[in-house]
Amino acid sequence: MKLALIGQSLFGQEVYTNLRKQGHKVVGVFTVPDKDGKADPLAVVAEKDGTPVFKFPRWRVKGKPIPEVVEAYKAVGAELNVMPFCSQFVPMNVIGFPKHGSIIYHPSVLPRHRGASAINWTLIEGDKKAGFSIFWADDGLDTGPILLQKECPVEPNDTVDTLYNRFLFPEGIKAMVEAVQLIADGKAPKIHQSEEGASYEGIQKKSNAKVNMAQPAEVIHNWIRGHDKVPGAWVQKLLFWISSMLSGSVPAGQPIEVEGASHPGLIAKSGLILFGSDGKALQVKNLQFEDRKMISASKYFSSDEAASLDLTDDEKKMAEEIRAIWKGILSNVPVIDDTTDFFKSGAASMDVVRLVEEVKQKCGGVQLQNEDVYMATTFQSFIQMFVRRLRGEDQEEELVIDYVTKDVNNMTVKMPYQCFINGNFEDAEDGKTYNTVNPTDGSVICKVSYASVMDVDRAVSAAKEAFDNGPWGKMNPRDRGRLLYRLADLMEEHQEELATIETIDSGAVYTLALKTHVGMSIQTFRYFAGWCDKIQGSTIPINQARPNRNLTFTKKEPLGVCAIVIPWNYPLMMLAWKSAACLAAGNTLVLKPAQVTPLTALKFAELTVKAGIPKGVINIVPGSGGLVGQRMSDHPDIRKLGFTGSTPIGKQIMKSCAVSNLKKVSLELGGKSPLIIFSDCDTDKAVRMGMSSVYFNKGENCIAAGRLFVEESIHDEYIRRVVEEIKMMKIGDPLDRSTDHGPQNHKAHLDKLVEYCELGVKEGATLVYGGRQVDRQGFFMEPTVFTDVEDHMFIAKEESFGPVMVVSKFKDGDVDGVLSRANNTEFGLASGVFTRDINKAMYVSERLEAGTVFVNTYNKTDVAAPFGGFKQSGFGKDLGEEALHEYLRTKAVTVEY
């Protein structure tokens, strides 16, 4: 179809380009005259293609069409006028001239907000939905019949820019092309515009844009964001820019009187806090003065930031290069001097983008944003801002951490101890703390913030804001992966410090903490960082809806705010197993470390800031499971909860998650993992790996072999060799590199293990070795061996979660019998088999009811292999590609064309 495009701007340019791609012929482009020697983007692209371009300053004079303009238009012979963002008044003898008439794009769901400032009024009026209309032009003001409409929700902190960039621009371009195709196919409707719900609001003037502070906070917020860009909402000769509703508690700040407000505002670190008549608060990011200078609202009371800097020779050279860039953009200005104002010299929004990108190209390594230009509008102020940025003087305020420091393990470790919420370390809301204890000697390491329900709510609010409106949710997946790689690198740089903290807080032997607790955590983040840009949906062949055709595809989307609750046996590694997959999928998180081992999680939080993870993406709230964990289960804004811990608590969590908002759940719970050792095994390996299956990490291991089944003919020899090996194990200070066996995690757990062993003796099992607390300071338990364990005994059924080897015999050759005994449990986390017979190994591995089966090895987990249990050991997977799907949802999309 032959088209005439009447419009302007990048939007017009994109519509033009896409229509040509669809095979339509654009016979003429009618756009606005050049401004300050620069052509409109639509004219630029059309001229490159050789399309006839007309730049009429107007189509009418005193309401009457200009004959020569109309004749020039008619000469192109268009069959349809397409009018994307047309700002000129076009006469009806042009509108109605083509065979198919004219269609116009309008950024509102007509008939609401007819007129030129529809996006602004959508926000000012507090509409819950926005959208656009493509309609057939008539002689009214946006009153013609509707051809096509699309809608989108208005988010609480949407601005004109976010609405435009997220929906109105990209979807509007597609819809214009779709509308033209509908007309070409003879399928375009003409739906009469009802006058019901019709509204018209004129273009706002500055005199009408003053903020009425005697209104609810949300109304004030809508007024400010609706006036962003033009003309700007104001009070006391100050224009307010970038408003958002305040979530969480009101921050501390310096009071400031605000005209018409019943409550003074606050200048806080985050901006200007304003209060509505309903007592609720909103936040304004930037302020602009009458001279157009813009500042961060948080710096309203600061000393003059524009104090002149003495430039080095290299900086002066860069300044002259930037002056040349300004001159190239402001070609109408004879000389660029220090007082030249970018906007007063005629620059527009596209020029801002060009300036930022040219400066970044010329002066690599300096990060600039469009907003920086609005805040430094004169050449001198821009250079001052640029040099400060170059020197690193204009960075965000450094994270303030009130460390606890300890000289230990030949180093000084620095440990955060407060809640980590929205990128800051801060005390619990009610100021409560608790002691975290070193299990090696029972001493208090430090006091840690004891989070309350209010702290959980603040953390969830921060995570939701970061997901909905922050840079994380909009970030390119590859950039997200880059941040996770950087985080892994920082963890590696701090691995000795992390391992030391892990050792003193959890009792892990330092060498194991370094290799596994920390080492596997680093591997996990690197593995999932690589997945960020490889999360894909698929196309699905479906039955076509003839005569139309269909395309059906799936998209994998993040869930939103996720909660993670981790145990005390591997504090950092369990954090990594869950949070790396959660973050790679694009979610934000609120994490509760185990109450007795919070310190590596809080150190990790510090490293996330250094890695550049945006505020609010990761929040860590130490405290009790009954309080913090329960609130997470109940919270309506959390969409997924991942938990590792006991089966009874897992059941309670699952119930709470179902009742609250049916949030998604994954559970890694208790185990009683069987290990079957056949007489034809490699005995040396079976002894070594069998001991590791029980005593690894002092038995505080979710997949520990809870019960060994040893074939009768080798049973006694096997036990003799195990006891010999135990006697050679060194029990002691976990920071000593030669130590084999460290303290149990905490006193209550040690007491439980002693009781477990006492009960085993009472039931008639044979205590071959150990069974007692070690006679030394700290929470040390002897490595223990029980034999003659019968299937009905408590220690045969229940997990010890400690260094207790529980051994039962089985008759030689009774493969099916031992399998039946091994599977006679409600748990199914892991299992193992030792045999040289590959047929027997495969037979047993196929029949063991467990999420992981080890053959001739044990504890061999890898970041690429999925990990999770069957039966009452839970469901869902950590690690591997499958873990990503725990933190994603699948959306099916069907398009008819």
State yes or no: is 702 an active-site residue. Answer: yes
pLDDT-derived band at 593, boundaries 50, 70, 90 = very high
* Intervals of CATH 3.40.50.170 along the chain: 2-185
What is the phi/psi pair of residue 86, to 5°?
Answer: -85, 120
Task: Point out the least confidently predicted range of 204-213, 374-383, 831-840.
Answer: 374-383
50-84 pLDDT per residue, tens: 999 999 999 999 889 999 999 999 999 999 999 99
Task: Tell me which CATH code domain 313-391 carries.
Answer: 1.10.1200.10
CB 491 within 8 A of CB 498: yes
Q: What is the mean pLDDT of residues 119-123?
A: 94
Report whether pLDDT(123) > 60.
yes
* Intervals of CATH 3.40.309.10 along the chain: 674-868
Give residues with Cβ within 8 angstroms of 458, minimum separation 6.
248, 249, 421, 422, 429
Give residue 390's pLDDT. 80
535-550 pLDDT per residue, tens: 999 999 999 877 888 9
pLDDT-derived band at 137, boundaries 50, 70, 90 = very high
* Intervals of CATH 3.40.605.10 along the chain: 403-668
Give residue 305's pLDDT. 41
Please give the angle made by the CA atoms of 752, 757 and 762, to the nearest 5 degrees: 120
Q: How far apart are CA 259 and CA 104, in angstroms?
A: 42
Q: What is the mean pLDDT of residues 669-692?
A: 97
Q: Quick one: CATH architecture of 206-302?
A: Roll (3.10)
- Listed residue (589, 635, 588) closest to 472, CA to CA: 588
Of 302 and 801, the structure prediction assigns the larger pLDDT to 801
Which residue among the candidates 14, 465, 606, 668 is catalytic per the annotation? 668
CATH 3.40.50.720 fits 2-185, yes or no: no
Task: Point out the least confidently predicted range of 34-48, 321-335, 348-362, 620-634.
Answer: 348-362
Report whether pLDDT(307) > 70.
no
Task: Point out the least confidently predicted range of 255-269, 586-600, 827-841.
Answer: 255-269
Of 423 and 339, the structure prediction assigns the larger pLDDT to 423
Q: What is the mean pLDDT of residues 455-477?
A: 91
pLDDT-derived band at 272, boundaries 50, 70, 90 = very high
Give residue 393's pLDDT. 61
CATH classification (class only), 674-868: alpha beta
DSSP 8-state code for residue 35: B
Three-state DSSP class for residue 619: strand
- Listed residue (693, 703, 662) closest to 577, CA to CA: 703
Report whether pLDDT(360) > 90.
no
Q: Provide the terminal-to-terminal Cα distance of the chain, rounded to the nearest Å.
A: 18
State yes or no: is 106 an active-site residue. Answer: yes
Q: How far apart are CA 520 and CA 507, in angstroms?
A: 18
Report whether pLDDT(457) > 80.
yes
Which residue among the candidates 702, 711, 749, 886 is catalytic per the annotation? 702
Give residue 306's pLDDT. 38
User: Considering the chain, what percentage of its residues have pLDDT values greater than 90?
Assistant: 77
Q: How far apart are CA 795 and CA 789, in angstroms?
A: 8
Q: What is the mean pLDDT of residues 610-633?
A: 95
Of 348 and 185, the structure prediction assigns the larger pLDDT to 185
Which residue among the candidates 106, 517, 635, 715 is catalytic per the annotation? 106
Q: Is 296 exposed, middle or buried (0-12, 13-18, 19+ CB in 10 A)?
A: middle
State yes or no: is 668 an active-site residue. Answer: yes
Give residue 395's pLDDT. 56
Q: What is the mean pLDDT of residues 12-22?
A: 95
Of 410 and 304, the structure prediction assigns the larger pLDDT to 410
Report whether pLDDT(308) > 70.
no
* Intervals of CATH 3.10.25.10 along the chain: 206-302
Q: What is the mean pLDDT of residues 857-875?
A: 97
Of 383 and 817, the structure prediction assigns the larger pLDDT to 817
Q: How far apart are CA 127 and CA 149, in angstroms?
A: 16
Give residues with Cβ within 8 angstroms of 763, minimum separation 6.
790, 793, 794, 795
pLDDT-derived band at 229, boundaries 50, 70, 90 = low
Give domain 403-668's CATH number out of 3.80.30.20, 3.40.50.300, 3.40.605.10, 3.30.230.10.
Answer: 3.40.605.10
Q: What is the mean pLDDT of residues 660-685?
A: 97
3-state secondary structure 142-166: CCCCEEEEEEEECCCCCCHHHHHHH
Residue list for the binding site for (6R)-10-formyltetrahydrofolate: 142
Report whether pLDDT(402) > 80.
yes
E strand or H helix that includes residue 425: strand 424-426
Give residue 304's pLDDT. 45
Instruction: State the chain's mean pLDDT as an integer.
Output: 93
Q: How far apart are CA 352 and CA 374, in angstroms?
A: 8
User: Considering the chain, what percentage of its residues have pLDDT values greater than 70?
Assistant: 98
What dihedral do alpha carbons 100, 106, 112, 118 form, nearest 10°?
Answer: -160
782: left (phi over 0), alpha (psi -120 to 50) or beta: beta
Q: Residue with structure tokens 């990108």?
A: 357
Of 577 and 392, the structure prediction assigns the larger pLDDT to 577
Report CA Rg, the chain. Answer: 34
* Intervals of CATH 1.10.1200.10 along the chain: 313-391
According to DSSP, the β-strands at 443-449 and 433-438 are antiparallel
Q: How far apart are CA 512 and CA 503, in angstroms?
A: 9
Give residue 351's pLDDT. 87
CB 630 within 8 A of CB 656: yes
Residue list for the binding site for NADP(+): 566-568, 592-595, 625-630, 645-646, 752, 799-801
Q: Is 195 exposed, middle or buried (0-12, 13-18, 19+ CB in 10 A)?
A: exposed
Q: How far apart are CA 316 and CA 310, in angstroms?
A: 9
Q: Is 113 exposed, middle or buried (0-12, 13-18, 19+ CB in 10 A)?
A: buried
